Every structure is written in C-alpha cells, then in structure tokens.
Amino acid sequence: MSQAPKRVPMYIQLKNYILDQMNKGIWKPGDKLPSENELAEQFQVSRITVKNAMADIVKQGLIYRIQGRGSYIADGASEQWITYEQQETGGGSLVAFLMPRLNNLFTANLMAGIEEELSHHGYHLVFRLTHDSQPLENKILKELTGLGVKGIIIYPVEGETFNEEILKLTLNHFPLVIVDRYLRGLDTNSVSSDNYTGAYEATMHLTRLGHTKISFISTAVAGTTSIEDRLHGYERALSDSGLYIDYRLRLSLNAASPVEQIKTYLADNPDVQAIVATNATIGQMAKKAADFLKIRVPEQLSIVCFDNSEQSDLFEVPLTFMNQNEKAMGKESAKLVLSLIQDPTQDRRNVVLPNTLVIRSSTASAAGPASIPASASGIEAQ
C-alpha cells in the first residue's frame, strides 16, 4: 500500500510564493513587500506563519527589513540563484477549493464532503472565498497555481458564463472540477445535482396538490446554469400539467431588500397559490414576506425550496425542500479531482447526482391540508 503524502507546512507554501514572485520579476530589487498583515489576510493564515516564511528568506539575504517601514527585496537578489523549498514533505497533497461565500448549510455541507474525501486519501484542503467577484476569482486561481496545488475545485461566482483562467487551466489539462453547476461553452469537468429534474419534481408536487398559480422566485437567472436549469424544469412541469407559462409568475430578485421585493410581489399578485424558491434563503424570505402580509403558510400559500436550512426542524413551519445531498456532491467532486491528478488527460466528465423531495409542513392542498403518501418514489416525509 502506498504511503499517503505528507503535508507541506503553510509557511513553506508562503515562502515559495514569495520566491516565485521574485523569480518571475514581479517583485524586483528595491520593491517593498506586502506587510505581514496583508499577507496574512490574503492567504488566510496567522502573522506567525508569515513571520516564519519571511525569516527564512531574510536569512538567505534575499530581503531585508527596516524597522517601522517594512520588508524590501535586496539589491543583489536578482543575481542570486533563488531556490524553492523542496516538496518532499508533500506539496503534492494540496487541493484548493474556491467558493463565492460560506454562509449557509448547503455550502458548509459541500465543503465538509470535499474535505472528508480528500483527507481520506491523504490530501489537504486549501480554502479561499471569492466573494462572488470574478476578478478576485481569477487572481486567486493564479496565486494557487503558483503555490503548487495539485488540483482545484471551484464553485463559480453567480452569473459567470465564461472564465479565461478556467479555460487556460482546462486546455493545459490542469486537474480542475466545477461544482454545483457548469459553464456553458467551456468543456470542463463538473459535478452537480440534477437541477432540471429537481425543479420539475418540486413543481409537479405543487400541481398534484391542485395549485395552478405557481411562482418561481430566484436570484438573476442568466449566466448561472443551475438556476437556468431549474427554471426550465419548472416550466416543463407546468406544461406537462396543462398549465399556461405565465411570465408574471416569475420573480428575479436583486441584492437590495429582497424581502421587500417579495412582499411587493405577493401584494401585487394575490392569486399566487404556491412558490418554487431556488434556495433555502429565498424560501425563508418568502415565508417572512407572507407572514408580514398575514398570508398563512401552507393554508393560503405553499412553499417549496431547494436545500435545507440550519435547525429548520425548529421552525414554526419547516419548509418542504429538494435535498441535493450536497455532502455527496462534495465527495464526488473530490473523487473526480483526485482521479484527474492521477490522469490529467482522461476524457471530460459531467457527474449529475439525483435529488430527493422532502415533504414537510409548508405545502398543502389548494383545498386544505395535504395528505401525501410517503411511499412515493424519490420522496421522503418528515
């Protein structure tokens, strides 16, 4: 049995990054280096880690420090042979995960699945937030490849349709996996849930309860394939149920006061009987807006959302939700990136995982409380 690779200490990774910037001429003799606080924030490490990395380079005479002013590249640094710390301690064990935000149960479970699978195979996770900024996403991708990570899993920023850095990495057969969605026009490896079928089943659940005015509430649709596919699944379910596709029943939220937007929408469209929300946060916002307007859930308004909320079983009305099994999604993305590390030139793969509808108390018959058989295929009752 092969021995699992050992972890490269973070200070060595940081040291190699600094040396790489010097070797490439990005930082030249006389240039002032970023402060310890700036480097610590950039790489999400402690100042002690930064100090250790800098101390090694100071000993080599490649940089010098001026008390109260900072660290600078030594004048003779470009004339010296700058060598990286050898990776025998296991630099190949690092896999990076980029995510727009880490603010809900879905993203937490997704990362947990990735970390669990990587650690099982002796790999270590480097996690970075992109804050839904494509320029920051590109910057981090460049930094991580410079640090020598062996693979990258990326949850793209919302609305992203194309990314030049991802294209470059893909064309160079760098082990990279897109998770949660895919990018149209880019032939990349990806792992996602079956968003189309999930939205189809969520909508069909509502039509079977007798609802005919079913709203679709999401963030901006264009450019985010997971939301686009959910919209198409919703529309197909309406069509298959003999219902007219009414664009008035679609609400695309922006970042400014989304609860207020839903309040206004429901007040202006009192015939809405049910809502398909594209995530748990929107589902909870719809419930809050309904409460404000004294619309009773589920007696007057049924709500289905994608994903669960933390401690949702303690809510007054737990929402019916489409379970994407995000931890399994994380595990599959980790398995795929590890496979690509072993064979970067293998055929591209798009892994699609099934969803399960979990019925709770936020959905009911248009004529009254629902009585739904728990034995229906692909459905769980709670």
Write the burial class of residue 193 (CB in 10 Å: 0-12 exposed, 13-18 middle, 19+ buried).
buried
* Residues 216 and 265 reside in one and the same domain: yes
Looking at 38, 54, 87, which one is the last position of a domain?
Answer: 87
3-state secondary structure 56-84: HHHHCCCEEEECCCEEEECCCHHHCCCCC
Digit-coded pLDDT (tens) for 130-181:
988 888 988 899 888 878 889 999 998 876 656 788 888 888 889 999 998 8
* Residues 77 and 95 reside in one and the same domain: no
* pTM tops 0.85: no
> Mean per-residue pLDDT for 288-297?
95
For the chain, the domain total comes to: 3
Q: Is residue 247 part of a domain?
A: yes
Predicted confidence band of residue 244 (pLDDT cuts 50, 70, 90): very high
* Residues 363 and 239 reside in one and the same domain: yes
Residue 324: per-residue pLDDT: 92
* Residues 331 and 254 reside in one and the same domain: no
Predicted confidence band of residue 281 (pLDDT cuts 50, 70, 90): very high
| CATH number of the structural domain spanning residue 313 | 3.40.50.2300
Strand, helix or coil for residue 151: strand
Looking at 87, 107, 123, which one is the last position of a domain?
Answer: 87
Q: Is residue 3 part of a domain?
A: no
Strand, helix or coil for residue 24: coil
Predicted confidence band of residue 4 (pLDDT cuts 50, 70, 90): very low
* Residues 257 and 214 reside in one and the same domain: yes
Residue 161: per-residue pLDDT: 59
More confident residue, 90 or 149: 149
* Residues 94 and 16 reside in one and the same domain: no
* Residues 207 and 268 reside in one and the same domain: yes
* Residues 309 and 171 reside in one and the same domain: no
Provide the domain limits for residue 40: 10-87
Q: Is residue 259 part of a domain?
A: yes
Note whether 329 and 351 are within 8 A (CB). no
* Residues 333 and 318 reside in one and the same domain: no
* Residues 235 and 299 reside in one and the same domain: yes
